[in-house]
Amino acid sequence: MSSSRVQIQRLLHVATAAAGKASTLIQSKIECGFKVANKQDGSFVTSVDTAVEKLIVREIHKSFPDHDVTGEEFGSSKAGSEYRWFIDPIDGTLAFQFGLPFYGTIISLCYKDQPIVGVISHPGLDRVFSAFRGGGAYRDGKKIKIKDVSPGRVKAELIATGDRYQFQKAGALGKYNRLLKEHSLVRTIPDCVGHTLAAEGSVGAMVDFYLSYWDLAATKLIVEEAGGKFVITGTKQLADGRNVYNIICGKPRVVNWLLREIFG
C-alpha cells in the first residue's frame, strides 16, 4: 500500500472520526465519574485514559487491521506494517482529573517513520486540530497558517513551556532558568494545549522537554503543515528502552532565536 494523497485523506478521516468518538466517550465519563490511579513512574492514569485508548485502537483496526498501533497505556501491537499509529488518549491527565479543560487526545500515523496524519482534539475546549502530509493544517476544518514574527520582534512574542519538572528530568533546568531570565513573556502552558497554540500562532513558540513520541508526532506534522518550524533538540533513551525527546516548535524566527540564544 502506497501513501497517495487520496489514501492519506482516508487515513485522516479514520483518525478524526476516532477522535470524535473519543470526545463523546470522554464527556460521558466526566458525567458519570472515573477512577484515578498512579503509574509506576509516578504519573497519573484514569479509567478514561484506558477506555479511550481501547476505543481508538478498535476504530483503527476496523479499517486497518494490519497496521501497527502504539498507545501510551497498552504499548504496541506489532504486525510488521510500514504504517504505525501513535495514541495518547488523554494528554494532560493532571489537568483532566482536576476538571480543567486543558487536555487533549492525540492520534498520529507514521509511514516509514514519517508522520503523515495528525489529530489533536481538545474536547474540553471544543477544538480539533488536524493535518495530513502535503495537505496543510486545520483547526475545526479551517486551514491555519503561521505568520512568522518580523525581525526584531521576537522579544514581543509569548513563549509557552512545559512544566518545570520536565526540564529537570531532561537535565536542562539551567537552560529553562536562563529562558525565564532572558525573556519576560514566558508562560507554563503544558501538554498538547501549548502545542496547538504554537500551531495556530497564538504563541511564538512552545518549548517542551522529556516527551514520548506519541506526544510529538502529531504536533510535528501540524506545525510544519501550518508553515512553522519544529526541532528536536535532544533525545535520551530510558532504562526501559523508550526514548524521550526535547522539542521546540512555532514561528520560525522565534524558534531560531531560542536555539541560538538559549537552547543551542
pLDDT tens across 181-226, in order? 999 999 999 999 999 999 999 999 999 999 999 999 999 999 999 9
Q: Is the pLDDT of residue 78 over 80?
A: no
Give the residue with greater pLDDT, 1 vs 91. 91
Q: Which amino acid is at 21?
A: K
> For residues 39 and 174, which has the higher predicted lDDT (pLDDT)?
174
Q: In the chain, pLDDT over 90 holds for what percent of residues?
A: 89
Mean pLDDT of 155-171: 97
**Domains assigned to the chain:** 5-135 (3.30.540.10), 154-261 (3.40.190.80)
Q: With contact defined as beta carbons under 8 Å apart, do 101 and 187 qualify? A: no
Mean pLDDT of 230-242: 94
Mean pLDDT for the chain?
A: 95
pLDDT-based confidence at residue 76 (cuts at 50, 70, 90): confident
Please determine, for residue 241, whether its predicted confidence score (pLDDT) is greater than 80.
yes
Q: What is the mean pLDDT of residues 231-236?
A: 97
Residue 3 confidence class, pLDDT cut points 50, 70, 90: low
pLDDT digits (tens, 9 = 90+) for 11-49: 999 999 999 999 999 999 999 999 999 887 778 899 999
Give 119's pLDDT tier (boundaries 50, 70, 90).
Answer: very high
Task: Quickly count: other Cβ atoms within 10 Å of residue 36's Cβ.
Answer: 15
**Secondary structure of the chain in HEC code, one letter for each residue:** CCCCHHHHHHHHHHHHHHHHHHHHHHHHHHHHCCCEEECCCCCEEEHHHHHHHHHHHHHHHHHCCCCEEEECCCEEECCCCCEEEEEEEEECHHHHHCCCCCCEEEEEEEECCEEEEEEEEECCCCEEEEEECCCCEEECCEEECCCCCCCCCHHHCCEEECCHHHHHHCCCHHHHHHHHHHCCCEEECCHHHHHHHHHCCCCCEEEEEEECHHHHHHHHHHHHHCCCEEEEEEEEECCCCCEEEEEEEECHHHHHHHHHHCCC
253 pLDDT more than 70: yes
Q: What is the mean pLDDT of residues 51-55?
A: 97
Q: What is the pLDDT of residues 100-111, one digit of tens each?
A: 999 999 999 999
Tell me, what's the pLDDT at 17?
Answer: 98
For residue 1, pLDDT beyond 50: no
